[in-house]
Structure 1
């Protein structure tokens, strides 16, 4: 067996950071759902948050909530799944057959520095880093994550590939 075929164990420090990052994003959603504790939420987000949105402009619910333009009760983000991919945390949720969303949060030093929101869009996350970088993946086509929109499989949604 070649050395390239043997994956080195993930350092405990990497696992700790991944767990912290997931905890930060989970705390953000809890802060938004617990009566809209925006003080708690603001502490989790960098003041110069980089933001990117893909979807109908009327669906920019998270931006409106985080900027105070809208009440947390107008749209409730309840993630069905939260996964860590490198320094990103990906959350997805869906409500019935009409609404599907994916959030990709990038963290540095336990603070959210970048946010990408995809509304009613299939998302595939691919590893485009040079060989030997720290992102872990187990398949060989470099797909790190793929949308799982539950009951929306029969519906046609635009698809995007996010390279990280």
Structure 2
């Protein structure tokens, strides 16, 4: 008996969360070999937030953080997955959200948001047709960061 498409998606999302959780654990324990096995050799990285002073994950992944006073401790408070995208939210001296893309058990992309409210929206065709008889696009909000949920920080929409 074959698993339903919904069950398969849930299994994929749980597997993707395990990969990302393993990355944070490897970073915390300074297990460089595990970090290298979890990341694609040429990971794509996007950053949104205050310039330069908050490129903590990039410095951590590239090994350019050399002194303890430069280090930033990533303490994830929540993990949620939507297909291949795993969102992680946390707070240290500033709130942050990481959107990791996992492809076949390897992390291939990171979108890093500091001091920014993030709202995730899923776009898709609706079953309702417009007057032109073509399907209309539906926009559904599926997640929003909680730690930056106020009007004093910039907000972004991440479309899946």
The verdict on a shared fold, with TM-score over 0.5 as the criterion, is yes
Alignment of 1:138-149 (within 5 A): 142-149=140-147
Identify the match of residue 56 of structure 2 among 51, 57, 61. Answer: 61
Distance 2:91 2:79 in 1: 13
Identify the match of residue 89 of structure 2 among 88, 92, 105. Answer: 92
Tell me if the contact between 2:124 and 2:139 (Cα under 8 Å) persists in the aligned partners: no
What RMSD, in angstroms, separates the aligned Cα atoms of the two structures? Answer: 2.1
Tell me if the contact between 1:125 and 1:146 (Cα under 8 Å) persists in the aligned partners: yes
Question: Bigger radius of gyration, 1 or 2?
Answer: 2
Deviation at 1:11, TM superposition (A): 3.1
Distance 2:90 2:67 in 1: 16
Q: Which residue of 1 aligns with 2:19?
A: 24
Q: Which residue of 1 aligns with 2:35?
A: 41
> What secondary structure, in the 3-state scheme, does the structure 1 residue paired with 2:76 have?
coil
Q: Which has the higher strand share?
A: 2
Deviation at 1:52, TM superposition (A): 0.3
Deviation at 1:131, TM superposition (A): 4.7
> What secondary structure, in the 3-state scheme, does the structure 1 residue paired with 2:53 have?
helix
Q: Which residue of 2 aligns with 1:159?
A: 155
Unaligned runs of 5+ in 2: 128-137
Deviation at 1:39, TM superposition (A): 1.4
Q: TM-score, normalised by structure 2?
A: 0.82
Distance 1:155 1:131 in 2: 31
Aligned length: 144
> What secondary structure, in the 3-state scheme, does the structure 1 residue paired with 2:65 have?
coil
Q: Which residue of 1 aligns with 2:132?
A: none
Distance 1:44 1:63 in 2: 15
Deviation at 1:19, TM superposition (A): 1.0
> What secondary structure, in the 3-state scheme, does the structure 2 residue paired with 1:53 have?
strand
> What secondary structure, in the 3-state scheme, does the structure 1 residue paired with 2:9 have?
helix
Q: Which residue of 1 aligns with 2:133?
A: none
